[in-house]
Structure 1
Amino acid sequence: MSLCGRTPAPSLLGRFMAGIACLLLGCLLLMPAPARAGVANAPGSNLEVSLITYGPGETYWERFGHDAIELRDTVSGEAVTFNYGVFDFDESGFLLNFARGQMHYLMDAAPSEVDQRYYTEVGRSVTRQHLAFTPAQAADLRDYLLWNLQPENVRYEYDYYVRNCATRVRDALDKALGGTLKPQLEARPGGMTFRQQTARLMSQQAWLMLILDLGLGPYADQPLNAWQESFLPEVLQQEINHVTVASIDGKAQPLVLSQNLLSPNRLVPPPAEAPDLRLPLALAGLALAALLASAHRFAPTAYALLGSLYLVLAGLVGVVLLILWTLTTHHSAWANANLLLFNPLAFLLLRALWRSRKHLATSRLANGVIVVQLVAVLIACALHLLSGVVQQNQPWLLFALPVWLVMAWSLRHRPS
C-alpha cells in the first residue's frame, strides 16, 4: 500500500493493449535513425552561401579584421562557417618559421552561432552578405571546402598581403564562381597601398605602426587593384558589391543579394585614411638634432650617451633590415631604402663619438664612415626623383637627415 492509496489492478484488455504499446515503442527505438540532412550532404539547391565579415579587434593581430564563408542548409537550418585564420603556437619551430617568413596557417570550421557569438561578445562587428550562387556552384564550393578541411589539405603557407584569411576566402569564392570574381576586381583600382592600409589599421598602436612602416620596402608602395587590396576583409566586403554574376537563366545579377549587420561594432574604429607621418617624424628628427647640438656644447657626457643611443639603434635597425632582405622570405621588406639611413656602419662611429666628447681628433676611418653615410642619405633623397615605384620613406628621410648632419658636424667640430 502506498501513501497515495492502492492502485487498481488493470483489466485483461488493458494488459493486452499495454503490451502492444510496449512492443511498438521497442520497434521504433530499435529502428535505425533516418540520416539527418545538413551542410555536408545537402543538395546544392538547399545551400545558401554567405560571406561573413568581422570587424577589426583591439589586439594588434586582430586589427586587420577577419572573414569566413558561411554555408547554411535551408532545410535543416544547420549553418557552418569556414575560415582560414587559425595558427598553432605549439607547432614545431613556429617562432623560427615566423621570423623566416615561413608561417603555416590552418583552415577551420565551426557552427556559425558559436563563431558569431564570440565576435559579438568582444564587440567586433559581424556582417553577413548573402551571395547569388547557383545550386551547382554552391555544391562545388561545399565540396571544395570539405576537401580543404581534410588533414592533408588544411595547412597553407601564410603571407600578410597575398595569402591570408581574406585572400583564401576570396580565392575559394572565385573558384566556385568559375573565375568571374577575379577579372572584375582586377579591373577596379584600389584605394590605398599595402603601406597605407597597414599604417591606417595599426595607427592605434603607434609604436608598432612605426616599426612596421620602417621595415616595409618598396613592395608595399606599389599601386593596387581591388583584387590585390582585398587582402583586407573589409575591402573584400565592399568590393564584391560591385560584382555581377550570371543567374541560372543566364541573366546578369549582383553577386550580393542582401547585406545584414548581425552585430554592430562597439570598439574604436580605425581611421578612414592613413596617418601622414612626415610632420611628426620631421619634428622628432629636428628635436633630436637640436638636443645633440646643444648637449655637444654644454653637456659633453650627455651628448655622448644620447649619440651612442642613436648610433646603436641605427646599427641594430640596419642589421634587422639586412636579415629581412637576405635571410627571410618577407618579400615586403626586401630592398628597403631605409638601409641607406640606418645601417651597421653606425657602430663604427661609437668610438669617434666618445673621443669627440673630449674634442679629440676623429680617425681616418670615422671620417670615411661619415662621408659614406652622408652620401647614402643623399642617394636616399635622390631616389625620389626617379620614375616608377619608389619607396615612400619620406618620413624617415626627414627624421634621419638633420640627425646625421648634426652628428657629422659634432664629430668634425673643434672649438677655436
Structure 2
Amino acid sequence: MTPLRHITLALFIAMSWLLASPTHASVANAPAANLEIALVTYGPGETYWERFGHDALQVRDTVSGESVNFNYGEFDFDQENFFLNFARGRMNYMMGAAFSDIDESYYIETGRSITRQRLALTTAQAGALRDFLLWNLRPENRHYGYDYYIDNCATRVRDALNRALGGALKAQLAARPGGMTYRQQTLRLMSNQPALMLVLDLGLGPYADHPLTLWQESFIPMVFQRAVENVRIGDGKGGWQPLVSDSRIVSANRLDTPPASAPDLRGPLALAGLAIAALMLLARRFWPTGFTLLGMLYALAAGFVGWVLLVLWTLTAHHSAWANANLLLFNPLAWLLLPSLWRARRGITPSRFIDGVIAMQLLATIVAVVLHLLPGVVQQNQPWLLFALPIWLMLAWRLRRPV
C-alpha cells in the first residue's frame, strides 16, 4: 500500500480519457493489438506501510509510446475519520493511475527496487484488461474496503489479471502450496522494526497461522512476482506458453533486504520472561518497593493488552485478530492484582479473593498451553507462552495467601 500521491493526476488522466477525441492516440483508445501489458513490482520500503512492497499493472500503447501504471492500495491520511476507521478495521482505500515514468520515479528516488515483467496476453485479453482497469478507475468504482491479507494492492492486481485470463491464474496458483503463513510473512517483512513486529505478532490470532496456497500467499507483491514466472497460459494456437515473456530489473534495490524467513521469537521472549521473573524475585527479597513497581507495571501492561485484544475480537472487523489465545495470558483480570501488589511492599498478604484471581490466571495460562499443544492448526503463540509463564508463576508464588 502507498500514501495517496496520484489522486489529482489520476482524476486528470481519467477525465482526459473520457473526453479525448478519437484521433488522440492514448492507452485509453488504442487498438487492443497495440497494447503491451506488464506486471511492475516494487520492493519493500523503509516506512512500516511500505514493508510489504507494492505492485501495479502497466498498460503501454506501443504505437504512441504512452504508458500508464494502474495500482491499488492508495490511502489518504486526511480522509475523514481515517484513523478511527483504521482502528475499527473499516479501511477505505483507492485505485490510482499515473504515467509510468512519474509513478516509478518515486520508487527510484527512495531506493526501492522495480521489476517489470512483460506478460504474454492475447490481443483480446490485453483489451479486456485495459477496459476493466479504466472502468475500475472511475470515481464511483475506485474505492474499496481494504484488508491486509485478502484484499490489498497485490491481490487486486492479481484478481484483475486473473479475470483477464479467464481464471487460469487462480487455477494454477491455488493448486500449489505456499511457503509461509500470514504470520510468518508479516514477521519476516516487519523484522527491521522489532517493536512493531512484536505488537503485530501479539495481536494476530489463529487466522494468521493457517497454511496458505500460493494464490493466497500472493498477497505479498514479491511472492506474486515469483509465482507468475511459473504460470503457463494458452498461446491462442492450441499450445501453451509462459505467462511472463520478458523480465528485467528497472531499478536495483538500495535498501536493506528483508530476511528470507521469519525470525524465531521463542528464545528472545523466553529469556525476557525469565529475566523479568528473576528480577521480581530478587526485588521481592531485597527491595520490596521495587517488586511492587515491577509487578504493578507488568499487571498494568497485561491488563491493557488484554483489553486491546478483547476489543479487536469483539468490536472491530480485524478478523485476523479474532479468537486470540494470547487473551488467556494477558487479560483485564491482571488489573485486579494492583491493590495487592501495592500492599505487598509492606508485606501485607492478599485476600482470598485475590488468591482466586491468581488461581484463575494460572488456570487460563494452563489452558493456553493446552490449546497450543492440541493437534491440527493452532495459534503459533509459543513465544508469548514462554514469556508470560515464568512471570505469572513468580507472581503467584510471591503473592499467594499463606495457608
Shared fold (TM-score greater than 0.5)? yes
- Partner of 1:261, secondary structure, is strand
Alignment equivalent of 1:56, drawn from 16, 40, 44: 44
Partner of 2:349: 361
Aligned pair 1:99/2:87, yes or no? yes
The 1-side partners of 2:77 and 2:372 are apart by: 41
CA distance in 1, matches of 2:115, 2:41: 5
Which residue number in structure 1 is paired with residue 5 of structure 2? none
Deviation at 1:146, TM superposition (A): 0.3
Query: Hey, what's the Cα distance between the residues in 2 that align with 1:253 and 1:365?
Result: 72
Distance between the aligned counterparts of 1:97 and 1:388, measured in 2?
34
Letter of the 1:60 counterpart: Y
- Map Cα deviations across residues 321-364 of structure 1 (whole Å, 9 max, x no partner): 00000000000000000000000000000111122222212112
Alignment of 1:154-193 (within 5 A): 154-193=142-181
Match of 1:226 among 206, 209, 214: 214
Alignment correspondent of 1:394: 382
User: Structure 1 residue 411 and structure 2 residue 399: aligned?
Assistant: yes
Taking the aligned partners of 1:355 and 1:269, their CA distance within structure 2 comes to: 50
| CA shift for structure 1 position 413 | 6.8
Contact 1:356 1:410 in 2 (8 A): no
Counterpart residue identity of residue 340, structure 2: A
Task: Describe the SS at the equivalent of 2:346.
Answer: coil
Q: 1:195-206 maps to which residues of 2 (within 5 A)?
A: 195-206=183-194
Which residue is equivalent to 2:303? 315
Structure 2 residues not aligned, in runs of 5+: 1-20
Are residue 84 (structure 1) and residue 72 (structure 2) matched? yes
Task: Name the SS of the counterpart of 2:60 in structure 1.
Answer: strand
1:15-414 correspondence to structure 2 within 5 Å: 35-412=23-400
Partners of 1:206 and 1:386 lie apart in 2 by 29
- TM-aligned CA deviation for residue 412 of structure 1: 1.8
* Residues 349 and 401 in structure 2, CA contact (< 8 A), matched pair in contact too: no
Distance of 1:102 and 1:396 partners within structure 2? 28
3-state secondary structure, aligned to 1:123: coil
* Aligned-partner residue type, residue 226 of structure 1: L
Q: Which amino acid aligns with 1:217?
A: G
CA positional deviation for 1:385? 2.4
Indicate if the aligned counterparts of 2:43 and 2:54 stay in contact, CA closer than 8 A. Answer: yes
CA distance in 2, matches of 1:339, 1:196: 20
Q: Which amino acid aligns with 1:124?
A: R
2:14 matched residue in structure 1 = none
Quick one: distance in 1 between partners of 2:24 and 2:138?
Answer: 22
In structure 1, stretches of 5+ residues that fail to align are 1-32
Q: Given that residues 372 and 381 in structure 2 are in contact (C-alpha distance below 8 angstroms), is that contact kept between their aligned partners in structure 1?
A: no
Tell me the distance in 2 between the aligned counterparts of 1:247 and 1:283. 57
Q: Say if 1:42 and 1:73, in contact at 8 Å, map to a contact too.
A: yes
Query: In structure 2, the residue corresponding to 1:357 is in which secondary structure?
Result: helix
Q: Contact 1:50 / 1:130 at 8 angstroms: preserved in 2?
A: yes
8 Å CA contact retained: 2:355, 2:401? no
Q: CA deviation at 1:77?
A: 0.5
CA distance in 2, matches of 1:125, 1:268: 11
CA distance in 1, matches of 2:338, 2:238: 73
CA contact (8 A) 2:352 2:401 kept: no
Q: How does the TM-score come out when normalised to structure 2?
A: 0.94
CA distance in 2, matches of 1:173, 1:72: 15
When normalised by structure 1's length, the TM-score is 0.91
Q: Which moved more, 1:181-190 or 1:377-386?
A: 377-386
CA offsets per residue over residues 359-395 of structure 1, 9 Å max, x none? 2121121100000000111111111221221000000
Percent identity among equivalent residues? Answer: 66
Secondary structure of the corresponding residue to residue 129 of structure 1: strand
Distance 1:409 1:167 in 2: 50
Q: Look up the equivalent residue of 1:66 and give its one-letter code.
A: H
Runs of 4+ in 1 over 2 A off after TM superposition: none
Supply the distance in 2 between the matched residues of 1:97 and 1:354 (Cα, whole angstroms): 38
- Distance in 1 separating the partners of 2:253 and 2:272: 35
Q: Which amino acid aligns with 2:395?
A: M
1:34 to partner: Cα distance: 8.0
**Greater Rg by CA:** 1
State the secondary structure of the residue aligned to 2:309: helix
